[in-house]
Structure 1
Amino acid sequence: MSSPAVMIATARIRPGAEDAFAAWKGRYDAVVAAFPGFNSSDVLPPGEHDDTWTILLNFDSKEHVTAWQQSGERAAILAELTPLTIGGGLGEVMQTESLDAERPGTTVTQVIFSQIKPGMEDGYREWAARMQQAQARYPGYQGTYLQPPAPGGFHWITMLRFQTAEQLNAWMAAPERSAMLKEAEAFVEGEELLRLATSFPGWVRINPETGKGPPDWMTALLVLLGLYPVVALELLYLNPLLAGLVPALGVFIGNVLSVAATSFLTMPFLVRNFDWWLFTDLKRSDRATAIGLAILAALFAVEILFFVWLFKWHSG
């Protein structure tokens, strides 16, 4: 077959028909997602001086795009759209080259991984279309990319684009979004967000409800709790083995091992067990924060006392 192809579909929606269009978009996504060769869809809202919505359909080949254009499924779903548009229907043009150079540049992208309850996929598509309609009304919105799970996979991938981090944060914290997330609990089993929005990307997840990570000082305390025993053990057991090396090389090897142990051993363990503290409900934040700090203080004391004893024991 030929190389991947993209279908560009545009529609001018009648004033007041935005909610009906969102519901139609959910049905449209369900139909095209079941079509052979479909990979993903991307939605771009109207610009500041425009009233045209753009839908990008990504297929694995030109042949599958052509088959979609000629299908009865497409004809039936487009017939439902006609009353909602100005001038009728969806205009479509095939594009076989990459669209990366043509898409508007974006400053910040939020990636959302959603696991949908079995049998609730259609409900999720309809909800996602309404969510997209809601976020499109917020300043800085640049578009949404929605990709169903790959064969054998579980996660739907949504990429939400805004011009600035501040504008994205405003949407993530909006009461309207919180209300829609409550509605989504009926069919979303789990959700994780990915954005370089903390000082420790990759170690600590982002809160799905707020779109923010925990305070940096909390994460820093966990880093210290996990890093201290690693460095202490290196001083006791690794440094004697590296004594014959050039100091710069010995320090480098020690740092590599420290970073690896912190990234793959101590931080995953600590973040998992202190998740309740890092992402405390606002209603009980003060009490939970105090409890977490008390536990950390006790653990720091245990670590220090243990290594005081261990260093003395080694020194003989």
Structure 2
Amino acid sequence: MSDPFASGETAGDPALNDPVPTDPVTVSVARKVLPGQESAYEAWLKRVTATASHFPGHLGANVLRPSAATGGEYVLIYRFDTYAHARDWELSAERDALVAEVAPLVEGEAVRKRVTGLEFWFDLPSVPVTAKPPPHKMALVLVVVVFTLVYGLNRLLEPLIGGLPDWLRLLVVIIIQVLLMTYLVMPRVTRLLKGWLYRAA
């Protein structure tokens, strides 16, 4: 069966080829909503995000509403823990029905972008589909961020979890670290370092 991420809306896009099945996946879908259909589209967004949340591996979704930064488009961003789980959602009958339902509310084709692996931590909806930070820059930023978070969390949480078994203490630190990186730290770090990250040199 063909790759659902590379069909129709973004066929031939090199950024969507050769995924690693075990990598986390972030997908953004930008659509231009017809004038007067904004309320109906907002209701549709609630249904599609609620439906996707019931699929295995779903890590959450965000919506960017029309602005200068999005070119006047709605951008739906959703995440799955692996390419395989994201593919299950993309090929589902539930998604097919929702995509058919939204057709009268939008104009033109959706513009899709997918990132995997290290790029998961550096996704910016405003960055062109084909733009990717060099791997050595992503690795350098992640080393600094992970070290800072792990060291800081260990020091901060020591009075609270110091008496726990080593494995449980480590698990608590890792859970908090990953949540902070995903939803708070990396989006801000990526925006702050955008000019440097996306320079070829």
> What is the TM-score with the length of structure 2 in the denominator?
0.47
Larger radius of gyration: 1
- Which structure's relative contact order is higher, taking Cα pairs within 8 Å and 6+ residues apart? 2
TM (norm. structure 1) is 0.31
